[in-house]
Structure 1
Amino acid sequence: MATYSEEFREEVVTEYLEGPLGYKLLAKKYNMPSPTPIKRWVNAYKAFGKEGIRNKRSRSYYSFQFKLDVLNFMKQTGASYQETAIEFNLNQPSLISNWKQIYVKEGIEGLKEKSKGCPSMSDKEKSKQTKQGKDLSREKQLEREIELLRLENAYLKKLKAFQENPNAYLEKHKQRWHSNSKKKDSN
């Protein structure tokens, strides 16, 4: 992702607001791969003025509750990232996108503040012990890789057979299933 200077952003936004060119033509004029950044800059400029398109010099801290409120607002109203950012005075809609991805992956716990810095020494010792137990010999690693490749190969063969003739493949496996269930019943 390309980063653009504040002066460049301001120039593009001013040209958009004062000139006849739209987002796509401006993106083309300045050799930008997409008009999306220009849209974001213009919306941020309209909402916050020059502050909206400036790079933040320091990292901002957002509380757990604030993040939840932002995500709930977005869910309830169906607002876009940009609209939500403007509503909550954020000049980076990508922050909200990151919070949402974390929420989807890790759940509510992912939004809580994580401790910073190095873990304590006792944690390092524990992780070393478990790591040594997990280290497999080169031979074991290769055997594991071969097994995984065999499984993948078998899966791809079955997938190919199914794609070529789904009905025949299903009939074959129905017969196998019925014959296996009869064997179990006779025991």
Structure 2
Amino acid sequence: MAKHSYETKKKVVLAYLSGEGGAGYIGEKYGVARAMVQKWVAAYKEFGDEGLRRSRKNETYTFKFKLHVVELYLTTEVSYQDLALSVGINNPPLITKWVNDFRIVGPDALRSKRKGRKKTVKKSNNSTPNEQSEKESVVTSIEHVKQLENELLKLKIENAYLKELRRLRLEEETLLKKQRELSTASEENSN
């Protein structure tokens, strides 16, 4: 994937916004894919110049925020790009990674991982590490149960919808069958 400079992105966006042509024309003129032009324009409209700059900072997001974003993606029919713009993230592939990790591992994949070596000196806390991990697992299991309940509800709704659709199709088929029988009977009577 080719990296484009901020200046190139800005030229392309300004050309598009000034009305020099559509995304396809501008893309051909500057040697950029049409979809990329649209992506840059959307990012520019949402974030201004910062939307076109490549972010060098490692932004960290909370577990709740990540889970919220993943649930938004899974429950709506919005693209990664549109979702990223709506929640203020200038990196749609990050949301893609969160969704894929969530689908493979579950909510635990969205938790931040500690970096570096494990500490060898124990801190004296009132709760032991086992108690802390039990608390975390209880919270995770509660979230997992809620997720499963939501999924079950969605499946029940989908199942009811499909049953109703099938019933309506069967009714329609019987009506068409009756109409055919009536038309063939009227043809026979006319002969």
Once the two structures are superposed, the pairs formed by residues 27-42 of structure 1 within 5 Å of their partners are 27-32=27-32, 34-42=33-41
| Offset from partner CA, 1:24-82 (integer Å, 9 cap, x none) | 222222223x2222111101111121121112121100111101101112222322112
Mapped pair 1:100 → 2:99:
yes
Runs of at least 4 residues off by over 3 Å: 118-121
**Offset of 1:100 from its aligned partner?**
1.0
Q: Which segments of 5 or more consecutive residues in structure 2 lack a partner in the other structure?
A: 121-191
Q: Could you say which residue in structure 1 is the equivalent of 2:86?
A: 87
Once the two structures are superposed, the pairs formed by residues 1-187 of structure 1 within 5 Å of their partners are 1-32=1-32, 34-118=33-117
**Distance in 2, Cα, partners of 1:104 & 1:75:** 10
Instruction: Give secondary structure in 1 for the equivalent of 2:61.
Output: coil
**Distance in 2, Cα, partners of 1:53 & 1:41:** 7
**Distance in 2, Cα, partners of 1:31 & 1:45:** 19
| Offset from partner CA, 1:117-154 (integer Å, 9 cap, x none) | 25689xxxxxxxxxxxxxxxxxxxxxxxxxxxxxxxxx
**Distance in 1, Cα, partners of 2:93 & 2:38:** 13
**Offset of 1:98 from its aligned partner?**
1.4
Instruction: Give secondary structure in 1 for the equivalent of 2:56.
Output: coil
Q: Provide TM-score, normalisation by structure 1.
A: 0.59
Q: Provide TM-score, normalisation by structure 2.
A: 0.57
**Offset of 1:93 from its aligned partner?**
1.3
Instruction: Give secondary structure in 2 for the equivalent of 1:2.
Output: coil
**Distance in 2, Cα, partners of 1:76 & 1:100:** 12
Aligned length: 120
**Distance in 2, Cα, partners of 1:99 & 1:23:** 29
Identity %: 37
Question: What is the root-mean-square deviation in Å for CA atoms of aligned residues?
Answer: 1.8
Q: Could you say which residue in structure 1 is the equivalent of 2:145?
A: none
